[in-house]
């Protein structure tokens, strides 16, 4: 079982597809979770549209396009290759149909590795999405940055600034929250997808058709985001914190403060928009992944029969 590069390439395609499909709602989600005065989902969409037109929804998109492409490439590549390795080790065949344990283990490995790359990426994305946000806190020291004026010129400048101000620890801010979000999240992503694909594909002999991939991917995305939302809120808040002022000492402090101020419902902020966005962006991911994988395999058999 050699390392298959194809899975990484297919993951890249899937990632790019998912950003185009999901970024507008992602901006809405971040503003809802970490911003003030946006009201409900519908209101938030209207406010962003009114103030920043359509372009507002695609704010900070060039960075996710590149980074989520790479990120998704790693997640899918690591997941598929771990699954193949486990198939070899446990069943003596890399192509063996993976058991539930195999899928869970592969999801765990993918989750842990993805957090290593994903934390700085998400941090930069959230800081860039949040910086047009008007701040009305009294404790903002005005000399550093006028609230509402952009702090970061772009992704690279944002990374540099965080590194200078907060060091490596700053770049990995929210990494525990992200681990707690992504490890269960990927299990709730890959396992329902595989099960649903099996269930929806009529005949065992054929690979699932694009429609069932789209549906299974969408459902898996929606389930996975529903599972992830509480930790996602904590992560968004931890990572948005520090644009203007530092409010949270850490993950527990953030959970406590959020709960004390807004009650239990705070942890379900953006649940609706996450689940809504999870469907198209995840459907696009799996469709991009499976179709490009199929295309590459086809090319391979044509070039070297």
pLDDT digits (tens, 9 = 90+) for 225-236: 999 999 999 999
Is 194 contained in some domain?
yes
Judge contact between 215 and 287, C-beta under 8 A: no
Is 96 contained in some domain?
no
Is 11 contained in some domain?
no
Is 142 contained in some domain?
no
Residue 204's pLDDT is what?
Answer: 60
Residue 208's pLDDT is what?
Answer: 77
Reduced to 3 states (helix: H, G, I; strand: E, B; else coil), residue 54 is helix
Judge contact between 191 and 103, C-beta under 8 A: yes
pLDDT digits (tens, 9 = 90+) for 120-154: 888 888 888 787 654 444 334 444 444 455 678 88
CA-CA distance, 190 to 186, in Å (whole number)?
6
Supply the DSSP symbol for 143: T
Residue 131's pLDDT is what?
Answer: 76
Judge contact between 174 and 123, C-beta under 8 A: yes
Judge contact between 182 and 228, C-beta under 8 A: yes
CA-CA distance, 263 to 230, in Å (whole number)?
12
CA nearest to 243, candidates 138, 117, 135: 135
Residue 137's pLDDT is what?
Answer: 42
Judge contact between 30 and 129, C-beta under 8 A: yes
95 backbone dihedrals φ, ψ, rounded to 5°? -95, 5
CA-CA distance, 292 to 303, in Å (whole number)?
16
Distance from the Cα of residue 222 to its chain's centroid:
12
Domain of 261, in residue numbers: 174-269
CA nearest to 221, candidates 257, 188, 260: 188
Alpha helix positions (H), the chain: 5-34, 41-52, 62-91, 100-130, 155-171, 175-200, 210-240, 251-262, 271-303
For the chain, the domain total comes to: 1
Is 241 contained in some domain?
yes
Is 236 contained in some domain?
yes
Residue 266's pLDDT is what?
Answer: 92
Reduced to 3 states (helix: H, G, I; strand: E, B; else coil), residue 35 is coil
Tokens representing residue 64 in the block = 């996710």
CA nearest to 45, candidates 73, 61, 24, 63: 24
pLDDT tens digits for the chain (305 residues)? Answer: 467 899 999 999 999 999 888 888 888 888 888 877 788 888 888 988 898 888 888 777 777 788 888 889 999 999 999 999 999 999 888 888 889 999 999 999 999 998 888 888 888 888 887 876 544 443 344 444 444 556 788 888 999 998 998 898 888 988 999 999 999 999 999 999 999 888 877 666 567 788 889 999 999 999 999 999 999 999 999 988 866 677 898 899 999 999 999 999 999 998 988 888 889 999 999 999 999 998 888 887 777 65
Is 231 contained in some domain?
yes
Using only the alpha carbons of the chain, give its radius of gyration. Answer: 20
Judge contact between 127 and 162, C-beta under 8 A: yes
Tokens representing residue 174 in the block = 């929210």
Is 130 contained in some domain?
no
């Amino acid at each position: 079982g050699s390392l298959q590069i194809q899975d990484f390439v297919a993951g890249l395609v899937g990632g790019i597809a998912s950003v185009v499909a999901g970024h507008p709602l992602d901006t809405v989600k971040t503003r809802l979770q970490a911003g003030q005065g946006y009201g409900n989902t519908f209101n938030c969409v209207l406010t962003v549209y009114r103030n920043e037109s359509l372009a507002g929804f695609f704010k900070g998109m060039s960075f996710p396009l590149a980074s989520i492409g790479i990120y998704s490439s790693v997640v899918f590549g690591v997941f598929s290759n771990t699954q193949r390795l486990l198939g070899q080790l446990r069943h003596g065949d890399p192509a063996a149909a993976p058991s539930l344990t195999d899928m869970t283990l592969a999801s765990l490995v993918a989750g842990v590795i993805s957090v290593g790359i994903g934390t700085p990426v998400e941090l930069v994305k959230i800081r860039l999405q949040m910086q047009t946000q008007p701040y009305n806190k009294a404790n903002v020291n005005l000399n550093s940055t006028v609230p509402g004026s952009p702090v970061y010129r772009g992704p690279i400048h944002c990374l540099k600034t965080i590194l200078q101000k907060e060091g490596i620890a700053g770049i990995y801010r929210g990494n525990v929250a992200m681990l707690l979000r992504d490890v269960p999240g990927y299990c709730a992503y890959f396992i329902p997808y595989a099960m649903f694909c099996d269930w929806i594909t009529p005949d065992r002999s054929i690979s699932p058709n694009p429609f069932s991939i789209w549906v299974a991917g969408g459902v898996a995305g929606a389930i996975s985001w529903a599972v992830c939302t509480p930790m996602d809120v904590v992560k968004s808040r931890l990572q948005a914190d520090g644009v203007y002022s530092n409010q949270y000492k850490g993950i527990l402090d953030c959970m406590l403060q959020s709960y004390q101020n807004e009650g239990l419902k705070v942890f379900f902020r953006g649940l609706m928009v996450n689940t809504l966005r999870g469907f198209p962006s995840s459907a696009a991911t799996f469709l991009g992944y499976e179709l490009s994988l199929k295309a590459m395999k086809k090319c391979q058999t044509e070039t070297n029969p």
